[in-house]
C-alpha cells in the first residue's frame, strides 16, 4: 500500500514539502500520549533478543534513525513509537540558520536514493535544548548530532561546537560531532586529524563533565581515503571516544549537487565499516549508516562489526512501518541462527 501511495502521490510533491509535513504530523503525534503509547506498544522493539548495550546506554533494538530527519528534536518520541531503537536528532548548530537556498532536496527514485544540500537548516542549540528538556512519554534513546554554524570561520569552529555541546550534551543520551556533511563550506576539512584532534578534545571535555558523562562519537564521510579512515580510527582510540558513525552522504555522484544517500552508498559504507572494525576491533563502538534498506543490510552490518545501525533514506522508500518490520525480521533471524542475543552476532565475519 505504501509503495502505491508513494509512486502515485508522494513522489509528485516537492521532497522537502513532504518532509516538513511528515515532521509536523509526527510532532503532533508526540503530543498525543494515548496514541503514542499505543503505537509504541505495538511497533517499538520489545523482544529481549534485540537489546543492545553500547557505551553504557541500553538500546531496545540496534536499528535507529540517522540524523537529518528530526533536525530540531521535534518528534523523537513519535519516531521511536514507529519502531526505531534510537533517534539521532540534528544536525544542530550553535546558532539558528536557514540553510541553503531551495530547492535543496531531491529524490532519485530509480536508485532508491536522495540528494540533499540542506545546509544544516535548524533553529539552533538553545531551541533544541528546550525541546529536549520536555518529559518523555515513551522510552526513547536520543542522540544529538552537532555541526558548525555556516557563518563561523574555520578558525572559530572549536568554540562553535563547544557552545552547542554545553547546551546539548547534558540532555543527550549520546553526542555526535558531525564533520562530514558536504553542504557546509569547509566542514569536511575538519576531518583532517590536525584539525579534528583539538575539536574532539574540546567537545569531549564538555561531554565528560556532564553529570552522567555523555558518550561522544564522531561521524565521518564515505569519501575519505582509506589512510584517512585509519587516521581517524587511531585518533578516536587515542582520545578514547565512545564511537564512530560511518558513514555520512557522498559527493561522488552525478546530477544535482549535494550529498547522496541511499542504495548507491551501500557498498562504500560497508567497506568503511569493515576497515574500521579491522583497525579498532571492539575497543570502540561502530555505528553503520548508508544504504541500509532491509533486514539483510542490517544483519550484514552487524556481522561486519557494527553494534548499531542507522537508516533514513530506506525509511523514505520503505514506509512508516519500515523499522518495526526490520526489527521483527531481525529477531527471527537471530533465533534462526541459534543465538540468544543480537550482540552475539556482532563482528562474527569481520
Of the candidates 164, 181, 261, 288, the residue annotated as catalytic is: 181
Nearest to 210 by CA among 160, 175, 245: 175
CA angle in degrees (0–180, nearest 5) for 73-77-82? 120
Annotation says 261 is catalytic: no
Q: What are the angstrom distances between the C-alpha of 308 and each of 250, 300, 321? A: 20, 12, 19
CA 188 to chain centre: 17
Q: Which phi and psi (to 5°) does residue 78 adopt?
A: -65, -40
3-class SS of residue 250: strand
Report whether 297 contacts 291 (CB < 8 A). Answer: yes
Residues 345 and 339: their CA atoms lie apart, in Å, by 8
Report whether 308 contacts 173 (CB < 8 A). Answer: no
Nearest to 154 by CA among 92, 196, 202: 196
Write out the H or E segment, with its range, that includes residue 91. Answer: strand 87-92
**Active-site residues: which are they?**
181
Amino acid at each position: 500500500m505504501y509503495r502505491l501511495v508513494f509512486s502515485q502521490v508522494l513522489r509528485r510533491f516537492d521532497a522537502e514539502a513532504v518532509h516538513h509535513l511528515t515532521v509536523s504530523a509526527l510532532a503532533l503525534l508526540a503530543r498525543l500520549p494515548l496514541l503514542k503509547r499505543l503505537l509504541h506498544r505495538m511497533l517499538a522493539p520489545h523482544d529481549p533478543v534485540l537489546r543492545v548495550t553500547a557505551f553504557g546506554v541500553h538500546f531496545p533494538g540496534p536499528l535507529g534513525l540517522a540524523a537529518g530527519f528530526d533536525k530540531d528534536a521535534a518528534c523523537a518520541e513519535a519516531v521511536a513509537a514507529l519502531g526505531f531503537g534510537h533517534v539521532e536528532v540534528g544536525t544542530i548548530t550553535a546558532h539558528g540558520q536557514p540553510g541553503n537556498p531551495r530547492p535543496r532536496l531531491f529524490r532519485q527514485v530509480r536508485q532508491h536514493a536522495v540528494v540533499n544540500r540542506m545546509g544544516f537548516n535548524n533553529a539552533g542549540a538553545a531551541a533544541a535544548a528546550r525541546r529536549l528538556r520536555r518529559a518523555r512519554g515513551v522510552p526513547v534513546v536520543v542522540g544529538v548530532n552537532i555541526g558548525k554554524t555556516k557563518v563561523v570561520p574555520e578558525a572559530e569552529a572549536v568554540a562553535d561546537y563547544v557552545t552547542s555541546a554545553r547546551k546539548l550534551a547534558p540532555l543527550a543520551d549520546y553526542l555526535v560531532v558531525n564533520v562530514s556533511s558536504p553542504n557546509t563550506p569547509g566542514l569536511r576539512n575538519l576531518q583532517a586529524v590536525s584539525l579534528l584532534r583539538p575539536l574532539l578534545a574540546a567537545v569531549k571535555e564538555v561531554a565528560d563533565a556532564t553529570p552522567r558523562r555523555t558518550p561522544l562519537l564522531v561521524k565521518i564521510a564515505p569519501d575519505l581515503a582509506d589512510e584517512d579512515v585509519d587516521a581517524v580510527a587511531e585518533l578516536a582510540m587515542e582520545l578514547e571516544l565512545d564511537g564512530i558513525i560511518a558513514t555520512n552522504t557522498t559527493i561522488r555522484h552525478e546530477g544535482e549537487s549535494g550529498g547522496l544517500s541511499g542504495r548507491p552508498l551501500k557498498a562504500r559504507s560497508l567497506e568503511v565499516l569493515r576497515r574500521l572494525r579491522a583497525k579498532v576491533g571492539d575497543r570502540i563502538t561502530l555505528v553503520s549508516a548508508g544504504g541500509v534498506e532491509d533486514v539483510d543490510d542490517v544483519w550484514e552490518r552487524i556481522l561486519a562489526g557494527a553494534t548499531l545501525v542507522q537508516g533514513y533514506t530506506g525509511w523514505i522508500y520503505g514506509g512508516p512501518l519500515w523499522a518495526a518490520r526490520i526489527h521483527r525480521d531481525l529477531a527471527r533471524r537471530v533465533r534462526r541462527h541459534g543465538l540468544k542475543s543480537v550482540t552475539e552476532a556482532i563482528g562474527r565475519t569481520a
